[in-house]
């Protein structure tokens, strides 16, 4: 199955789809707890994996009785991870050529991410790609996680392109399920962080790429 290049809009996840940043997130929750002098539970990072920053802060505060507000917890987590976005996390192979091709075809594009806005913007600016996107939509902006179809519908509303002519690029199973529930076409992009869910992702997505370098196979 091939995508029709007449489509008008593209909604991109950032971490794990365009940006090779998931390894930095995988143990962040447990590292944060250790910095607070708390011994983390074995499954804490897996539990946090599908949460937005706001959901994660709420979970950590409730489960581990961390003092301070949820916003303060978020600020502390952002401080731990911000250098990754400011100077380290690279684009995944194939990301820039894909974005350039869509930009040349005048496809409207946005970022829809659970990452804090300033971090996403900093990484895209550093990598010379901010100009490709009409806007960055975060879970904080919408007050909901990417586990809800409404998150993707909000991105679609702001992008102002027809649903049937808009595609979503995602790596995470839970977000792919939400985008599909919203009635959107989904291009799944493999990332090691969701290796265990790989076969289910392959089944439920409309298109599957082992690497963004393979984008010409569907466009």
| Distance between CA atoms of residues 218 and 27, nearest Å | 34
Tell me how far apart the terminal alpha carbons of the chain are, to the nearest angstrom.
10
Q: Give the pLDDT confidence score for residue 4 in this predicted structure.
A: 60
Q: What tokens were used for 216?
A: 């010409």
User: Structural domain boundaries of the chain?
Assistant: 9-20+90-217, 23-88
pLDDT tens-place string over residues 31-75: 888 888 888 877 888 888 778 788 888 998 988 989 889 989 888
Give the DSSP letter of residue 134: S
Fold category of 9-20+90-217 in CATH: Rossmann fold (3.40.50)
Q: What tokens were used for 70?
A: 């949820």
Instruction: List, as one string, the DSSP characters of 171-207.
Output: --HHHHHHHHHTT-EEEEE--GGGGGGHHHHHHHSSE
pLDDT tens-place string over residues 81-132: 888 899 989 999 999 999 999 999 999 999 999 999 999 999 999 999 999 9
| Distance between CA atoms of residues 121 and 106, nearest Å | 21
- What are the residues whose beta carbons fall under 8 Å from the beta carbon of 95, sequence distance 6 or more? 18, 19, 129, 212
**For the chain, how are helix, strand and coil distributed in percent, rounded to 5?**
55, 15, 35
| Distance between CA atoms of residues 9 and 159, nearest Å | 7
């Amino acid at each position: 199955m091939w995508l029709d290049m007449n489509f008008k809009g593209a909604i991109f996840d950032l971490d794990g789809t365009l940006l090779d940043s998931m390894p930095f997130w995988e143990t962040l929750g447990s590292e944060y707890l250790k910095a607070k002098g708390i011994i983390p539970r074995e499954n804490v990072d897996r539990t946090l994996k599908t949460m937005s920053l706001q959901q994660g802060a709420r979970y950590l505060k409730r489960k581990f009785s961390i003092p301070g507000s949820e916003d303060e917890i978020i600020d502390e987590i952002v401080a731990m991870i911000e250098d990754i976005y400011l100077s380290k996390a690279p684009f995944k192979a194939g990301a820039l050529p894909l974005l350039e091709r869509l930009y040349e075809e005048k496809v409207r594009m946005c970022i829809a991410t659970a990452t804090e806005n300033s971090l996403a913007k900093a990484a895209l600016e550093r990598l010379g790609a901010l100009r490709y996107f009409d806007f960055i939509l975060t879970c904080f902006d919408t007050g909901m996680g990417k586990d809800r179809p409404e998150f993707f519908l909000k991105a679609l509303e702001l992008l102002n392109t027809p649903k049937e002519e808009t595609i979503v690029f995602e790596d995470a199973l839970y977000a792919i399920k939400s985008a599909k529930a919203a009635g959107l076409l989904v291009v799944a992009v493999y990332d090691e962080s969701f290796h265990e869910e790989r076969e289910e992702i392959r089944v439920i997505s409309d298109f599957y790429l082992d690497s963004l370098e393979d984008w010409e196979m569907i466009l």
